[in-house]
Amino acid sequence: MVDIRPILERELDAFIDLMDVAYLQDSTKERRDHYRTINELDRSFGAFDGGQLVGTISAYSFDLTVPGERTVPMGGTTVVAVRPTHRRRGILRGMIDIHLDDVRRRAEPLAGLWASEATIYGRFGFGCAIDFVTFEIRSDATTITGPIDDRVQVRMVDKVEFAEAAQRFYDSIRLFRPGELTRTPAWWKARRLAQASFGDSGMSSYRYALAERDKQLVGYLHYRTKEVVRDGVPRGEVHVAELLGLDADVELAFWRFLFAIDLTTAVRAPFRSMDDPLLHRLDNRRAVKTSVSDGVYLRFMDVTKALEGRTYSVPGTLKIEVTDHPDLRGTYRLEVKGDGTARCTQADGAADVSLDSQTLAACYLGGCRVCAMARAGRVAGSAASIRLADLMFDNQYLPIAREIF
């Protein structure tokens, strides 16, 4: 009989060790220390078989940026793991039930996660809302076209200066793009600024840079390099950890800086988006390979609060039927005013559009268009209602999956 309960502080090392077994890693003191600083003990549950820990789940308390420069509280589901001796006995299902009850109790309208395998979480109501996009650029085969604001200055800095500036800058722009998440100082320390020593063979330490315009901080960049020599020819690589600017000029100034690093011929940048201006400013579009995969999954916990949480691109009234999951199923009336803000209530009668909760999650942040989902057979309704829904949910930015949590 497996018992699922909150873990105790003294069980945290065993918790981390089990997570590392499941994720095919070795526990090290460094990994444990990093994880301890960001773990939320009161959101961490263990599955116990007798005295043995056989399953783990936890959550981070995030605010997720949604369209309209607003945020919605989100339980960030994490460290889901089951001991290999206990797999496929329903332990994950039991832990997810308890975890989602906890998210609901905390009145967070959304849960969200990164999936180790894309086939696991749909059954629990999670749908992919943000794509994970990676750029692989042959920086020796392309240049950036057109002017870049020459007031933008890129300056390499040390980690101390970077840490303060990057946190300040991230907080100042966090509301602009859907998908951004709150980052606590502990998060910055353990996740963004940690000099990870695992799985990084051949990489340099992190390098740090800031961008300034008229003495104002307008962006930050951190990256590593890897020395590669083939047939006596230098073919080094640049690996971007994060490149973030106030506008396209700032980011283009960073890209130009990276492309020009001597002895390198390639830049690899994960966590980008398909509406990145860079893609439209290269003289050789074929020099950048974009790979798109599933990134952040969302699960509605409270449809009315989540739908009211964002703003919409056009006004109108739409009755939306959600067809699955007992806690979500029903019809919701979404009334969007001229300023884009919305009121959402439970409703009766025939709906204008009908879709499952995974499809609603896919469209919620504007990552996937309602009309595309309708063509895929995942939204039912009249052509006019689908068009209205498509325009309402559309947003000027694609959402971004900035890091795995």
Ligand X SMILES: CC(C)(COP(=O)(O)OP(=O)(O)OC[C@H]1O[C@@H](n2cnc3c(N)ncnc32)[C@H](O)[C@@H]1OP(=O)(O)O)[C@@H](O)C(=O)NCCC(=O)NCCS
List interacting residues with ligand X (CB under 6 A).
22-23, 80-82, 87-93, 115-117, 119-120, 123
CB of 119 to ligand X, least distance (A): 4
| 129 or 267: CB nearest ligand X | 129
CB of 49 to ligand X, least distance (A): 12
Positive or negative, the Cα torsion across 183, 367, 131, 346? positive
Query: Do 111 and 77 contact (CB within 8 A), yes or no?
Result: yes
Query: Do 129 and 361 contact (CB within 8 A), yes or no?
Result: yes
Positive or negative, the Cα torsion across 361, 62, 335, 302? positive
Return phi, psi of residue 205, to 5°: -65, 170
| 80 or 246: CB nearest ligand X | 80
Return phi, psi of residue 175, to 5°: -85, -10
Burial 16-54 (b: 16+ CB within 10 A, else e): bbbbbbbeeeebeeebbebbbebbeeebbbbbbbeeebb
Task: Pick the closest to residue 352 from 366, 338, 331, 336 (CA basis).
Answer: 331
CB of 80 to ligand X, least distance (A): 4
| 98 or 144: CB nearest ligand X | 98
d(CA 61, CA 358): 22
CB of 293 to ligand X, least distance (A): 14
Integer CA distances (angstroms), 236 to 205, 267, 384, in order: 14, 9, 53
| 91 or 344: CB nearest ligand X | 91
| 93 or 337: CB nearest ligand X | 93
| 88 or 105: CB nearest ligand X | 88
CB of 302 to ligand X, least distance (A): 23
CB of 88 to ligand X, least distance (A): 4
